[in-house]
Amino acid sequence: MTATTATTLVPRPAEAALEAGGTPADAPVLAVDIGGTKLAAAVVEPGGRIAVSDRIPTPNNPGTDAEGLWRTLAAMLDKLVAEAGGPALAGVGVGCGGPMTWPDAHVSPLNIPAWRDFPLRDRLRETYPGLPVRVHNDAICLAIGEHWRGAGRGRDNMLGMVVSTGVGGGLILNGRLIDGASGNAGHIGHIVVDPTGPTCECGGRGCLEAIARGPGLVAWAREEGWHGTTGVALAADARRGHPVAQSAMRRAGHALGLAIASATHLCDLEVVSIGGGISQAGALLFDPLEETLRTYARMEFARRVSVVPAALGQTSGLVGAAALIFEPDKYWTGAD
Ligand SMILES: [Zn+2]
């Protein structure tokens, strides 16, 4: 348990707020980030500051069933809210690995086999009756976090990207999150960057994700004689000067540059932020990305785009999940 406690959050019993006829304006949000490797949660203040947080490994062994995983999550949230002093909450915002139905959030995260069509939003509503509960894709929450309080702050047109086990993204245009017909807009991982490239988990070929996701880079590097097993190790070896690892990062950077050039022309973007484990390779990734982007983003308006590392680090998903509640005019178009 790695919780931090702040002194500025004023604890307030939920009953007191209800008696007063509503939720206080300074009520915090319970934010949750659900992924294949970790469950993270935080009590987030209206400005986006994290008051208390917790993070545990996702129970993901073959014996884990849907209800067992839910009980672990619910207990973690209970404990965290108690630790924050039991404040009246403004709502519950959640980022969860996809795919999911949206906005009702029956979730089937690729990396959490125990949950298939699990009614996450309904369960949270039962647990926190009367509060708004909003769930979105975890990559979209990362993009929202970066737009609201990170690298895209103050810009109206932004693509927030994550490059790790998968490649995901969220799209902000004219200052608003774009959801699309099914909540899936911004899925840049499946833009085709090489029609003759490797097959993709989606069934297609040459998608950005098939090339630039961590396991894709690892598979390519191992064929070239590298002996590691993880994307993070590959990024670290690239920084140490391993030639195959560096080539893998150039390969990822090139693919990202192609996809970002297309997205920039399509959406007239001002800024693209990139987070996730692979982005930690730094200049080894961003330099070839920039070179490819400048080769292919040739329309005058597209040349102005800037590509920057994500600013919020591991907290961006939680901050973005909180913004689903705090800033619905910008970030939530789903039904409540
Ligand atoms: Zn694909």
At 64-92, the pLDDT tens digits run 999 999 999 999 999 999 999 999 999 99
Residue 239 CA, ligand 1 centroid: distance in Å: 28
Look up the pTM and report it: 0.91
Q: Classify 205 as helix, strand or coil.
A: strand
Chain segment 108-121, per-residue pLDDT in tens: 998 899 999 999 99
Cα of 167 vs centre of ligand 1, distance in Å, is 10
* 206 Cα to the center of ligand 1, angstroms: 7
- The H or E element spanning position 262 is helix 243-267
> What is the total residue count of the chain?
336
| Alpha-carbon span 8 to 103, nearest angstrom | 33
**Could you tell me the distance, in angstroms and rounded to a whole number, from the CA of residue 213 to the centre of ligand 1?**
11
Exposed (0-12), middle (13-18) or buried (19+): which is 113, by Cβ within 10 Å?
middle
Distance 208 CA to ligand 1 centre (A): 7
Residue-level pLDDT at 7: 45
Q: How far apart are CA 271 and CA 143, in angstroms?
A: 11
Q: How far is the centre of ligand 1, averaged over its atoms, from the C-alpha of 13 (Å)?
A: 47
Minimal CA–CA distance to 271: which of 308, 316, 325? 308
Cα of 297 vs centre of ligand 1, distance in Å, is 22
pLDDT at 8 over 50: no
- For the beta sheet containing 50-57, the strands, ordered from the edge strand earlier in sequence to the opposite edge, are 50-57, 38-44, 29-34, 91-96, 133-137
Q: 132, 336 in Cβ contact below 8 A?
A: yes
Position 239 pLDDT exceeds 80: yes
C-alpha of residue 207 to centroid of ligand 1, in Å: 5
Give domain limits for the chain. Answer: 14-141+315-331, 154-310
CATH topology of domain 14-141+315-331: Nucleotidyltransferase; domain 5 (3.30.420)
CB 76 within 8 A of CB 13: no
Which of 80, 79, 84 is CA-nearest to residue 8? 84
Q: Would you say the CATH fold of 154-310 matches that of 14-141+315-331?
A: yes
Q: What is the mean pLDDT of residues 99-116?
A: 95
| Distance between Cα 187 and ligand 1 center (Å) | 10
For residue 189, report the distance from its CA to the centre of ligand 1, in Å.
7
Query: What's the CA dihedral at 216, 217, 221, 222 to 10 degrees?
Result: -40
Q: 219 C-alpha vs ligand 1 centroid, how far in Å?
A: 16
Q: How far is CA 333 from CA 21, 35, 103, 149, 215, in A?
A: 26, 23, 9, 20, 33
Task: Tell me phi and psi for residue 224, to 5 degrees.
Answer: -90, 0
Going from the Cα of 99 to the center of ligand 1, the distance in angstroms, rounded, reads 13
Distance CA 262, CA 305 (A): 12
Distance CA 156, CA 147 (A): 8
Q: How far is the CA of 259 from the centre of ligand 1 (A)?
A: 13
- CA–centroid distance, 190 to ligand 1, in Å, is 4
Q: How far is the CA of 211 from the centre of ligand 1 (A)?
A: 10
How far does residue 3's CA lie from ligand 1's centre (Å)?
37
DSSP assignment letter at 61: S
62 SS3 class: coil
- Give me the percent of the chain exceeding a pLDDT of 90: 85
CA of 139 to the centre of ligand 1 (A): 16
Q: Which of 7-21, 125-139, 156-170, 202-216 has the lowest mean pLDDT?
A: 7-21
- Looking at residue 277, its pLDDT comes to 85
Domain 154-310 has CATH 1.10.10.10: no
What are the pLDDT digits (tens) for 195-219?
A: 999 999 999 999 999 999 999 999 9
How far away, in angstroms, is 192 Cα from ligand 1 center? 8
Q: Mean pLDDT over all residues of the chain? A: 92
Does residue 32 carry a pLDDT above 70?
yes
- Which sign, positive or negative, has the C-alpha torsion 164, 204, 288, 141? negative
Ligand 1: distance of its center to the CA of 111 in Å? 16
Query: What pLDDT shows up at residue 1?
Result: 43
Ligand 1: centre distance to CA 201 (Å): 6
Gap from CA of 200 to ligand 1 centroid (Å): 5
Cα(216) to centroid(ligand 1), Å: 12
Q: Residue range 222-227: average pLDDT?
A: 97
Cα(197) to centroid(ligand 1), Å: 11
pLDDT for 22 equals 67
Q: Single out the residue of 184, 140, 176 nearest to residue 275, CA to CA.
A: 140
Please tell me the predicted confidence (pLDDT) of residue 18.
Answer: 47
Report yes or no: 270 and 156 within 8 Å, Cβ to Cβ: yes
- The whole-number pLDDT of residue 315 equals 92
Q: What is the pLDDT of residues 162-197, one digit of tens each?
A: 998 899 999 999 999 999 999 999 999 999 999 999
Q: Give me the DSSP letters along 82-132.
A: HHTT-PPPSEEEEEE-S-B-TTT-EE--TT-TT-SSEEHHHHHHHHSTTS-
Give 213's DSSP letter: S
| 19 Cα to the center of ligand 1, angstroms | 51
pLDDT score of 24: 86
Supply the DSSP symbol for 191. Answer: S
